[in-house]
Amino acid sequence: MASADARTAAKPAGIGSSAGYVEVSNLYVTFHTARGATEAVRDLSVTIEPGQFVSVLGPSGCGKSTLLRIAAGLLRPSGGEMRIGGEAVKGPRPDVGVVFQQPTLLPWKNVLANVLLPAKSLGLNMAAARTRAMDLLKMAGLDKFAESYPNELSGGMQQRAGIVRGLIQDPTVLLMDEPFSALDAMTRERMMDELQAIWMKAGKTVLFITHSIPEAVYLSDRVLVLSPRPAQLVEDLTIDIPRPRSLETMSEPGFTAYTKHLREIFAKLDH
């Protein structure tokens, strides 16, 4: 695959062979509410390789966030299993970072305190976490805003702080649930560029949920398409476009061939 070199180069020495693997095996999720049962995921199986950037694309309400919440250890499946780094997911873990759709920063804490929250709840070494936080904030262009409060930042800056928070524990696997969907088009494009740069540098496995076809193609090694609820895998597409990709990439024939193919799949989905 096109990004193999970046991934190999970034792989830390001595890391266990299963680190970074995300394995979904015969996963089922049914929600039971007063109004009855909702089957959100049905018999989903997929393996994501270490260092891969994989997008999950699917219609609204199909079960994408449900899948991410299971990977994050925030929700238990009704059947089947989710394994990360060879271990069944049982709760939030230091090797798995999460970035949500909304930055969900606590308004009464400054940016630095907000990005340190996962380190605190996971019981990590706070002195080391603080140093790492400042490095990451610098990378995200937010080092001057470490002492600022969320309401003093633009939407894009808050979302970048949310990404920094997801990276604070230096996770092997980063889970992102439509992290750019609340941003305006310009900010969104810049954030896509920044995320690609972060990923190329850090070599992490990324599971990226989106409902945007161009965003998925731009960022991913692989795009998984889910059916309308209950989520089942309907396409597993390898995106073989060299990196780094740029905004010009989006108007190249290779890029548009992928987006056209995915649009055709979407059009055939019954939703």
Nearer to ligand ADP, 41 or 161 (CB): 41
55 lines the binding site for ligand ADP (CB under 6 A): no
Dist. CA 220–CA 192, nearest whole Å: 11
64 lines the binding site for ligand ADP (CB under 6 A): yes
Dist. CA 133–CA 136, nearest whole Å: 5
At 141, give phi and psi (nearest 5°).
70, 30
94 lines the binding site for ligand ADP (CB under 6 A): no
Dist. CA 23–CA 54, nearest whole Å: 13
Answer with the entry of Mg ion, ligand ADP, none that 229 interacts with (C-beta below 5 to 8 A by kind): ligand ADP
Tell how many helices (H) and how many strands (E) occur in the chain: 8, 10
65 lines the binding site for Mg ion (CB under 5 A): yes
- Binds ligand ADP (CB under 6 A): choice among 62, 70, 163, 224: 62
Which range touches Mg ion (CB under 5 A), out of 41-49, 62-70, 154-162, 248-256?
Answer: 62-70
In the complex, the smallest distance separating the C-beta of residue 62 from ligand ADP, rounded to whole angstroms, is 4
Query: Using omega within 30 degrees of 0 as the cis cutoff, is the peptide bond preceding 230 cis?
Result: yes
Residue 237, H or E segment: strand 233-238
Answer with the entry of ligand ADP, Mg ion, none that 61 interacts with (C-beta below 5 to 8 A by kind): ligand ADP
At 59, give phi and psi (nearest 5°).
-60, 160
66 lines the binding site for Mg ion (CB under 5 A): no
Largest CA distance in the chain: 52
Nearer to ligand ADP, 58 or 97 (CB): 58
Query: Using omega within 30 degrees of 0 as the cis cutoff, is the peptide bond preceding 244 cis?
Result: yes
Answer with the entry of ligand ADP, Mg ion, none that 160 interacts with (C-beta below 5 to 8 A by kind): none
Answer with the entry of Mg ion, ligand ADP, none that 228 interacts with (C-beta below 5 to 8 A by kind): none
220 lines the binding site for ligand ADP (CB under 6 A): no
Chain-centroid distance of CA 71 in Å reads: 10
220 lines the binding site for Mg ion (CB under 5 A): no
251 lines the binding site for ligand ADP (CB under 6 A): no
Q: 22 has which bridge partners?
A: 48, 84
The side-by-side arrangement of strands in the sheet containing 205-210 is 96-99, 173-177, 205-210, 53-57, 222-226, 233-238
Nearer to ligand ADP, 70 or 217 (CB): 70
228 lines the binding site for ligand ADP (CB under 6 A): no
Q: What residues make contact with ligand ADP under the rule CB under 6 A?
A: 31, 33, 38, 40, 58, 60-66, 229
